[in-house]
């Protein structure tokens, strides 16, 4: 009676949906998808219960109710801690259960694509551990959260983390967040060397300021193309998106 009452009010009955045991359809690529679920948790150093309450039955109920073409599950937020047990690291010490594994197992059986939310340029833990990877402001002060697109962060940490996740969880793709709007004029030694001019402009009043900004935009495009190409060398079918690329923020 409860299901019938809900149906009359415009809801649906879960008992009327296809049984979980039916064969899964092939997972849709993102370009053919219409509706997805996005999770944006941002694992932290002081979390204590990551994955504790995640179960296959819970995910099955959610997929039956929402019917998404894909799920975008949080794996690394701006704080820089990974949400899965990683050999590359750093993994949040608060992982109780590998929730990404549970999501992958269920979505694979259901024919639902699985992407991860992954913070790129903005990685507070990386610049804490490796200050030389940070952007520098015009006074030479390291940025407390943003890495330099001219530095080794992308090759020494970001790409290895993504390759591990793609292999371990048979990911369909990755949605890279915290990027174009985290790139600012960078006065790190590597950036100034790449600029290869006498002096970098310090502000809008200086000659060459617009060229200095475009120099960073061009570098960001190269940075994104670089990690996409590198990931496709090892995982040619991995779908990769950089959030807000070519938007007003870029």
Residue 194 has pLDDT above 70, yes or no: yes
Region of residue 219 (left: phi > 0; alpha: psi -120 to 50; beta: else): alpha
Residue 146's beta-bridge partner residues?
A: 122
pLDDT value of residue 247: 77
The mean predicted confidence, pLDDT, of the chain is: 90
- Residue-wise pLDDT for 65-75, tens only, equals 999 999 999 99
Distance (Å, rounded) from C-alpha 130 to C-alpha 133? 6
Q: What is the pLDDT of residue 198?
A: 81
Residues 104, 71: Cα–Cα separation, whole Å: 10
Q: Kindly state the helix (H) or strand (E) to which residue 63 belongs, with its residue range.
A: helix 56-66
pLDDT at 63 > cutoff 50: yes
The lowest-confidence range among 16-25, 38-47, 94-103, 113-122 is 16-25
The pLDDT-based confidence of 250 (bands split at 50, 70, 90) is low
Tokens of 163: 């390759």
Percent of the residues in the chain that have a pLDDT greater than 70, as a whole number: 89
pLDDT attached to residue 95: 97
pLDDT at 10: 38
> How much of the chain is helix, strand and coil, in % rounded to 5?
40, 15, 45
- Residues 28, 71 contacting (CB under 8 angstroms): no
Classified as helix, coil or strand, 178 is coil
Euclidean distance between CA atoms 29 and 88, whole angstroms: 28
Q: Give tens-digit pLDDT for 37-58.
A: 999 889 999 999 999 999 999 9
Q: What is the pTM of this model?
A: 0.88
Task: List the domains of the chain with CATH numbers.
Answer: 28-242 (3.20.20.80)
Q: Is a pLDDT exceeding 60 seen at residue 18? A: no
Which pLDDT value is given to residue 244?
A: 87
Residue 97 contacts residue 56 (beta carbons within 8 Å): no
Q: With 90 as the cut, is the pLDDT of residue 118 above it?
A: yes
Q: Helices 56-66 and 99-110: crossing angle, nearest 10°?
A: 50
Q: Is residue 38 within 8 Å of residue 117, measured between CB atoms?
A: yes
Name which of 152, 151, 147, 168 is nearest 80 in CA terms. 147
Give per-residue pLDDT as tens, 213-231. 999 999 999 999 999 999 9
Determine contact, residues 158/222, Cβ cutoff 8 Å. no
Question: How far is residue 25's CA from residue 222's CA, in Å, rounded to a whole number?
Answer: 36
Average pLDDT over residues 29-39: 95
**pLDDT for res 23:** 55
pLDDT grade for 149, boundaries at 50, 70 and 90: very high
Lowest mean pLDDT among 3-7, 33-37, 48-52, 103-107: 3-7
- 32 pLDDT above the threshold of 70: yes
């Amino acid at each position: 009676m409860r299901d019938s009452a809900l149906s009359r009010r415009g809801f649906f009955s879960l008992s009327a949906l296809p049984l979980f045991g039916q064969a899964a359809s092939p997972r849709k690529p993102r370009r053919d998808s219409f509706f997805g679920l996005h999770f944006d948790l941002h694992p932290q150093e002081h979390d204590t219960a990551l994955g504790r309450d995640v179960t296959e039955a819970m995910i099955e109920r959610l997929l039956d109710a929402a019917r998404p073409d894909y799920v975008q599950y949080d794996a690394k937020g701006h704080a820089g801690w990974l949400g899965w047990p990683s050999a590359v690291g750093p993994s949040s010490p608060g992982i109780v259960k590998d929730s990404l594994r549970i999501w992958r197992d269920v979505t694979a059986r259901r024919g639902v694509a699985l992407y991860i939310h992954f913070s790129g340029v903005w990685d507070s833990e990386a610049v804490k551990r490796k200050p030389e990877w940070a952007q520098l402001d015009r006074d030479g002060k390291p940025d407390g959260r943003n890495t330099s697109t001219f530095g080794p962060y992308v090759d020494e940490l970001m790409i290895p983390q993504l390759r591990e996740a793609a292999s371990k969880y048979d990911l369909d793709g990755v949605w890279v967040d915290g990027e174009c709007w985290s790139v600012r004029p960078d006065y790190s030694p590597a950036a100034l060397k790449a600029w290869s001019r006498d002096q970098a402009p310090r502000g809008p009043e200086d000659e060459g300021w617009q060229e200095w900004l475009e120099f960073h935009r061009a570098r960001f495009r190269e940075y994104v193309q670089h990690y996409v190409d590198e990931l496709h060398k090892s995982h040619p079918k991995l779908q990769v998106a950089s959030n807000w690329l070519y938007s007003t923020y870029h």
